[in-house]
């Protein structure tokens, strides 16, 4: 397919906006964060670990086309390694689009717990009180999606079944035009829509959130999570 060229530029602003004649898209219409993990700087993240196995949890880049971050736990049962981007920069606002997308895999789909999504900065991300995220409990390979406010959650159960060492792409989109204009959260697995949540009673509208992910061992053996990329964006 040939490339489409817009020789006079493209605008996403309405008449009267000061950037209406600017020949490029307004770079501030959304605030966003994207990381393909070509680089990793530990000082950009709040890192929470439990290391009861006599070793250390590690976070390091790993060789993969496109870049990836590998986090590996110490080897005791319930040892964990969770990362949260410093600065709670994302907030749900009714009527404004919100997006999250990530691609990752875990070494053991059954004997591990993990979380991936947006949440408040918390020393217990698996038991956070506020956020919008995907979560999986030890003992099962099925992943749930939660919308949680003040420790009360709306859950879409078993939105995906994952496999050992196999990448999965997860995403959600708060669409203010969904549900007849009342808003909805659309949930995607591997770029396919799998659920649409129209009950937004528990959406965290009073907290700033941040990108959060990590893994906990479900047995006395070190488990790992490989993150290909993470992305989040909110309409201003």
CATH number for the domain spanning 191: value is: 2.60.120.200
Residue 135 is assigned to a structural domain of this protein: yes
The 3-state secondary structure of the chain reads CCCCCCCCCCCCCCCCCCCCCCCCCCCCCEEEEEECCCCCCHHHEEEEEECCCCCCCEEEECCCCCCCEEEECCCCCCCEEEEEECCCCECCCCCCCEEEEEEEEECCCCCEEEEEEEECCCCCHHHCCCEEEEEECCCCCEEEEEEEECCEEEEEEEEEECCCCCCEEEEEEEECCHHHHCCEEEEEECCEEEEEECCCCCCCCCCCEEEEEEEEECCCCCCEEEEEEEEEEEEC
Rounded Cα distance, 106 and 103, in Å:
11
Sign of CA dihedral 206, 36, 213, 159: positive
User: pLDDT tens across 4-42, in order?
Assistant: 888 888 888 889 889 888 888 888 999 999 999 999 999
User: pLDDT tens across 154-210, in order?
Assistant: 999 999 999 999 999 999 999 999 999 999 999 999 999 999 999 999 999 999 999
Domain range for residue 127? 30-235
Residue 16 is assigned to a structural domain of this protein: no
User: pLDDT tens across 194-233, in order?
Assistant: 999 999 999 999 999 999 999 999 999 999 999 999 999 9
Residue 6 is assigned to a structural domain of this protein: no
Residue 115 is assigned to a structural domain of this protein: yes
Residue 25 is assigned to a structural domain of this protein: no
Residue 77 is assigned to a structural domain of this protein: yes
The structural domain count of the chain equals: 1
Residue 21 is assigned to a structural domain of this protein: no
Residue 2 is assigned to a structural domain of this protein: no
């Amino acid at each position: 397919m040939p490339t489409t060229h817009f020789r006079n530029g493209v605008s996403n602003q309405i008449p009267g906006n000061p950037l209406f004649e600017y020949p490029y898209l307004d770079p501030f219409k959304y605030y966003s964060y994207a990381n393909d993990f070509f680089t990793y700087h530990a000082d950009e993240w709040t890192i929470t670990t439990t290391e009861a196995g006599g070793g250390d949890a590690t976070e390091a880049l790993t060789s993969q086309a496109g870049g990836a971050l590998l986090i590996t736990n110490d080897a005791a049962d319930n040892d964990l390694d969770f990362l949260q981007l410093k600065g709670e920069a994302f907030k749900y606002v009714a009527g404004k689009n919100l997006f999250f997308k990530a691609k990752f895999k875990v070494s053991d789909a059954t004997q591990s717990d993990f979380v991936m999504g947006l949440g408040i900065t918390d020393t217990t991300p698996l038991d956070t009180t506020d956020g919008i995220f995907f979560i999986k409990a030890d003992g099962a390979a099925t992943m749930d999606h939660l919308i949680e406010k003040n420790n009360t959650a709306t859950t879409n159960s078993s939105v995906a079944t994952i496999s050992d060492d196999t990448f999965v792409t997860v995403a959600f989109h708060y669409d203010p035009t969904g549900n007849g204009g009342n808003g909805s959260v659309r949930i995607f697995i591997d770029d396919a829509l799998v659920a649409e949540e129209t009950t937004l009673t528990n959406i965290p509208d009073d907290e700033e959130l941040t990108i959060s992910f990590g893994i906990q061992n479900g047995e006395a053996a070190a488990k790992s999570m490989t993150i290909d990329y993470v992305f989040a964006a909110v309409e201003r």
